[in-house]
Structure 1
């Protein structure tokens, strides 16, 4: 049970944001006048517009200069978005919730929800209009082959610690139910699944888990990573991939994912998200209101912190504006 022994209480980084108390799921979210300033955990492009998701099932769509909230069929905390094109998108979140839109985020249908699982989905990715995966806490991994109409659970035992494999094998021969109960919580949290330009998938998670797949996530190879803390996100920029995580840890690697170089940051806050803007700058955001800019020549500078905030996502819209989301909602980055 090595993974359970090593696991902290997940009270740091993005996981601490996801543990924010929220109302239990009910029939549908309610339109709230202050939704734009509520906890919003992701922003994603849907064609020429942007969509953001967060607490109580809130979904907001950027309409010109204004963010407009739309109704959803849940009020569970939503954690992540993915749009395949300007129309088809999915959102995932707590209570094992998966939502689907066919009109660019204007309306949403519930495809899955299970409060009994007591696990949140933390990311979602579709390869085409039929095939997709959703991942989350304690190795939560579901796959759909029919646009999300049905979802099938997968268990990726290849990502277990060797000690946990032996432990589960012993349990299975003694007590099948106990084996299933223990198995459900032995894998690390899967925080982010990222498609790489060569068709591979990069999976990031708790306890320094970095894994790669060449078969759409049917199997993964765990990499010998240089850090044993949680990793929350990654961004591919040309021939370099940047991985970001707990306590200001930022690493750079080439497309082979063979060697990882740590990049020293001027702060030690957890790094949650990144984007590259049209001018070639790369922006990183994180806890403690952290906003960093990396110039095309690799120089990193810190913007004035947004005091009292934790920032999770950053993106540039079609008009060149840069938007941030986090504990204070979605706001435009000033002074960039």
Structure 2
């Protein structure tokens, strides 16, 4: 189970209006004065702007590198745990209840492109059609996906990635992965395009160079084989869950539970365990403009490496607490999201 799933599991409380239940998928996020102290799950740069998302559909923007923040409207009240931009204006966010939101104006306005109800319907139709034609694997996947959605649109989309304005994926628990080739206007199943018979969770989806990785459980990564249009499994020798993948030219690092990090310099053929110096789960990472690697941990630590993971230095942070994501916020500064909201840290 990913950090996003754990952290948000108790936050999606039913909304009551006039004594009636409102589905979070149909209820816009409520306005709050506590935009910097409410639980935030993820952050990304949109050109010079920072965009963060979090609890009950909260979306906040900063145009001064994290000094001040303002809330914008969100069409849902489901918890949001991931956000990505491909240009300064076009981006996506995803989260609980299978939600995928899109923006075309740098985060000022958002529309819902996908939710768990829609995903359940399209997967049932897709695998039902394949099963009717005699595809035995589709019969199994039809049963698996029916179990996933038997209690409603509960499968979260824990990660979102777009390579450009059109091609992207949303990934989540129980082997759920949907793809789009039209910017999210329509979605299709990629479940059968991953070597994941165990239906392991996908905790994140990341792009390193020209490669796309799924971070999963049981020490497993999945990498996109572009000619085959299929994700193939990579074993790292680790037994725990990975929460993300980071890297640059010449190396890739998968990180996760208990401060674990594994590096490969040979396209995943072999992996070396790195000594991070922390024991809290590594929840997010970024490559800074000068090439330094920065990781943040569940228990509030920041660790930096200047040598591609050979050594790490633990940095002081403004306050300890669960950190969920990190993004550059000007020269030698980063913005952090977490259970306690937003904080900025000077890396000097």
Larger displacement relative to structure 2 (212-221 or 271-280): 212-221
Larger deviation, residues 146-155 vs 268-277: 146-155
Asked if 1:188 corresponds to 2:178, the answer is no
CA RMSD of the aligned region, Å? 2.1
Structure 1 residue corresponding to 2:71, chosen from 69, 72, 93: 69
Q: For residue 332 of structure 1, what is the aligned residue in structure 2?
A: 344
Q: Secondary structure in 2 aligned to 1:92?
A: strand
Aligned mate of 2:107, from 105, 108, 124: 105
Q: Deviations over 1:224-260 (max 9, x none)?
A: 2211210001111331111101111011111511111
User: What are the residue-to-residue correspondences of 1:293-308 with 2, within 5 Å?
Assistant: 293-296=304-307, 298-304=310-316
Indicate whether 1:123 and 2:159 are aligned. Answer: yes
Cα distance in structure 2, aligned partners of 1:89 and 1:255:
32
Instruction: Decide whether the 8 Å contact of 2:263 with 2:273 is kept in 1.
Output: yes
Structure 1 distance, partners of 2:289, 2:202, is 30
How many Å apart are 1:89 and its aligned residue?
0.6
Bigger CA drift: 238-247 or 108-117?
A: 108-117
- Which residue in the other structure is 2:9 paired with? 19
3-state secondary structure, aligned to 2:246: strand
CA apart distance, 1:92 = 0.5
| 1:314 equivalent in structure 2 | 326
8 A Cα contact 2:29 2:73, kept in partner: yes
- 1:251 is aligned to 2:241: no
Partner of 1:114: 116
CA distance in 1, matches of 2:252, 2:62: 29
The CA deviation string for residues 195-251 of structure 1, in whole angstroms up to 9 with x for no partner, is: 231x23111112222111122893111112211210001111331111101111011
Q: Kindly indicate whether the alpha-carbon contact (under 8 Å) linking 2:74 and 2:109 is maintained by their aligned counterparts in 1.
A: yes
Secondary structure at the counterpart of residue 97 of structure 2 = coil
Q: Which runs of 5+ in 2 are unaligned?
A: 15-23, 118-151
Distance 1:79 1:14, change over 3 A: closer
Q: Distance in 1 between matches of 2:7 and 2:255?
A: 16
Q: 2:242 — aligned with what? A: 231
8 A Cα contact 1:243 1:250, kept in partner: yes
Once residues 187 and 45 of structure 1 are traced to their aligned partners in structure 2, the CA distance between those partners, rounded to angstroms, is 32
Q: Say which of 147, 160, 180 aligns to 2:196.
A: 160
Aligned residues: 301
Residue aligning to 2:47: 47
The question of whether the paired residues in 2 share the 8 Å contact of 1:322 and 1:333 is answered with yes
Q: 1:62 to 1:244 in 2, by over 3 A?
A: same
Q: Measure how far apart 1:95 and its partner are.
A: 0.6
2:295 to 275, 279, 284: 284
What do the CA deviations read for 1:288-312 (whole angstroms, capped 9, x no partner)?
1121122347431212366651112
Q: Tell me, in whole angstroms, the C-alpha distance in 2 between the residues paired with 1:158 and 1:279.
A: 35
- Once the two structures are TM-superposed, the CA of residue 278 in structure 1 deviates from its matched residue by 3.3
Deviation at 1:263, TM superposition (A): 0.7
Q: Which residue number corresponds to residue 86 of structure 1?
A: 88
Give the equivalent residue in structure 1 for 2:183: 147
